[in-house]
């Protein structure tokens, strides 16, 4: 008799465990009351806590934007700092709902790692930083150099490819923790620090003892489109994240900012009416309130505002828009039509 009870309990356990995993991410998030978002453990401008412990950065703002789209509250997010090593298992296993952590879109990650990527929030490329004292002017002069690199990133692969293609040799020093990589470079353990150009700019601005001693070489050796990612298998959740990114880009294109969004909501332009939910329908399709994009722009701002606030020329990172300008201004940022 006891055996029967045991078997029944085990069977019930198995059924509930499997059933629990089937619920949609949006419903789970709504029920839980906040979005669980995986961010960088500390990359100035993209995801790092400020002196008061609040998470700041471009990637962080997209976590908040998703929370605003769902709850109309930028604080309904729980941030989980993830190392490059931890980020995919954390997303795969459901520890986070959304990974917004300067992650490069690649074929392998899109397929066999089981991720779905939204539109890139930052078009980046891998570069090299060296000490000015070495007198190196080009990455082509780096034959035989020792290179500091963080483990578990596409950076490691591009580095090997670049030196191989150019018939040069190098010695990698591969360390897991970003802070330790930077420390090794500034201590002189390596000649070269390599990561995405935006990351190099952030490190030079925030970590270098004397920022002017270090120069970022002109070569950009890879394409690094950085995009938020979600798990395979939940199309509704994927759509929400994707269209939140598009909404911020479209808002900039339509000239809507967090300052003038109320004025713009009165516009008779049908495109703006659809975006800001003055004409109904665009929210319901995503399972959200029709005002979702209005809330996002009002609270977080459009793409240009997010860029300028976190990494633009006015910040210590001093990054130009470059590839991240709108398509109408010669850049790559292009929102799919919201209709």
Residue whose C-alpha is closest to residue 145's, from 131, 165, 157:
131
**Could you tell me the smallest distance in angstroms from the CB atom of residue 227 to other proteins?**
16
| Contact pick of 40, 103, 153, 264 for other proteins (by CB under 8 A) | 153
232 scored as a contact of other proteins (CB under 8 A):
yes
| Contact pick of 177, 258, 267, 315 for other proteins (by CB under 8 A) | 177
18 scored as a contact of other proteins (CB under 8 A):
yes
220 scored as a contact of other proteins (CB under 8 A):
no
| Contact pick of 88, 128, 303, 307 for other proteins (by CB under 8 A) | 88
The 3-class SS string of 174-221 reads EECCHHHHHHHHHHCCCCEEEEEHHHHHHHHHHCCCCHHHEEECCCCC
With residue 27 as reference, give the H or E element that holds it: helix 25-32
Residue 176 · residue 85 · CB < 8 Å:
yes
280 scored as a contact of other proteins (CB under 8 A):
no
| Contact pick of 20, 24, 33, 188 for other proteins (by CB under 8 A) | 188
Measured from the CB atom, the residue of 188 and 270 that comes closer to other proteins is 188
**Could you tell me the smallest distance in angstroms from the CB atom of residue 55 to other proteins?**
24
Q: Residue 15 class from Cβ within 10 Å (0-12 exposed, 13-18 middle, 19+ buried)?
A: exposed
Instruction: Enumerate residues 116-135 that contact other proteins by CB under 8 A.
Output: 134
Chain position carrying tokens 């010669």: 330
| Cα(64)–Cα(200) distance, integer angstroms | 25
Residue 333 · residue 101 · CB < 8 Å:
no
Cβ count near 337 (within 10 Å): 8
**Token pair listed for 5:** 């009870």
Residue 155 · residue 196 · CB < 8 Å:
yes
**Could you tell me the smallest distance in angstroms from the CB atom of residue 249 to other proteins?**
28
With residue 263 as reference, give the H or E element that holds it: helix 261-264
| Contact pick of 8, 12, 23, 157 for other proteins (by CB under 8 A) | 157
Who's near 309: CB < 8 A, 6+ residues apart? 61, 301, 315
Residue 292 · residue 250 · CB < 8 Å:
no
Measured from the CB atom, the residue of 174 and 323 that comes closer to other proteins is 174
| Cα(25)–Cα(29) distance, integer angstroms | 6
214 scored as a contact of other proteins (CB under 8 A):
no
| Cα(281)–Cα(9) distance, integer angstroms | 45
| Contact pick of 20, 144, 211, 330 for other proteins (by CB under 8 A) | 144
With residue 237 as reference, give the H or E element that holds it: helix 235-253
| Contact pick of 152, 283, 287, 331 for other proteins (by CB under 8 A) | 152
**Could you tell me the smallest distance in angstroms from the CB atom of residue 32 to other proteins?**
20
Measured from the CB atom, the residue of 29 and 296 that comes closer to other proteins is 29
33 scored as a contact of other proteins (CB under 8 A):
no
| Contact pick of 34, 42, 49, 92 for other proteins (by CB under 8 A) | 92
Measured from the CB atom, the residue of 89 and 211 that comes closer to other proteins is 89
Measured from the CB atom, the residue of 9 and 328 that comes closer to other proteins is 9
| Contact pick of 109, 223, 291, 309 for other proteins (by CB under 8 A) | 109
| Cα(104)–Cα(158) distance, integer angstroms | 12
14 scored as a contact of other proteins (CB under 8 A):
yes
Residues in touch with other proteins (CB under 8 A): 2-3, 6, 10, 13-14, 17-18, 21, 84-85, 88-89, 92, 108-109, 111-114, 134, 142-146, 151-153, 156-157, 159-161, 163-164, 170-177, 180, 184, 187-189, 191, 231-233
């Amino acid at each position: 008799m006891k055996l029967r009870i045991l078997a029944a309990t085990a069977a019930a356990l198995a059924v509930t465990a499997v059933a629990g995993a089937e619920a949609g991410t949006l419903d789970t998030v709504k029920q839980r009351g906040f979005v669980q978002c995986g961010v960088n453990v500390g990359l100035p401008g993209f995801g790092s806590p400020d002196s008061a412990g609040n998470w700041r950065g471009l990637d962080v703002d997209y976590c908040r934007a998703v929370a605003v789209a769902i709850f109309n509250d930028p604080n309904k997010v729980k941030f989980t700092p993830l190392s490059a090593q931890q980020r995919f298992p954390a997303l795969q296993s459901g520890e986070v709902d959304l990974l917004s952590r300067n992650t490069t879109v690649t074929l392998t990650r899109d397929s066999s790692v089981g991720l779905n990527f939204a539109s890139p929030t930052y078009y980046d490329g891998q570069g090299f930083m060296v000490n000015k004292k070495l007198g190196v002017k080009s990455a082509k002069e780096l034959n035989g150099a020792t290179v500091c690199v963080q483990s578990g990133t596409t950076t490691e692969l591009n580095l090997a490819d670049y030196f191989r293609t150019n018939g040069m040799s190098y010695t990698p020093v591969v360390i897991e923790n970003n802070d330790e990589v930077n420390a090794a470079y500034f201590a002189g353990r390596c000649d070269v620090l390599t990561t995405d150009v935006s990351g190099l700019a952030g490190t030079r601005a925030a970590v270098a003892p004397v920022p002017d001693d270090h120069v970022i070489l002109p070569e950009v050796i890879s394409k690094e489109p950085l995009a938020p990612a979600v798990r395979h298998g939940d199309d509704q959740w994927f759509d929400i994240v994707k269209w939140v990114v598009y909404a911020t880009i479209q808002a900039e294109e339509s000239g809507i900012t967090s300052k003038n969004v109320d004025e713009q909501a009165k516009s008779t332009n049908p495109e703006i009416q659809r975006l800001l939910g003055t004409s109904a329908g665009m929210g319901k399709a995503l399972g959200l309130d029709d005002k979702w994009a209005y809330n996002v722009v009002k609270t977080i701002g459009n793409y240009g505002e997010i860029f300028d606030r976190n990494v633009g020329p006015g910040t210590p990172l001093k990054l130009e828009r470059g590839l991240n300008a709108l398509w109408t201004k010669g850049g790559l940022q292009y929102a799919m039509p919201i209709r």
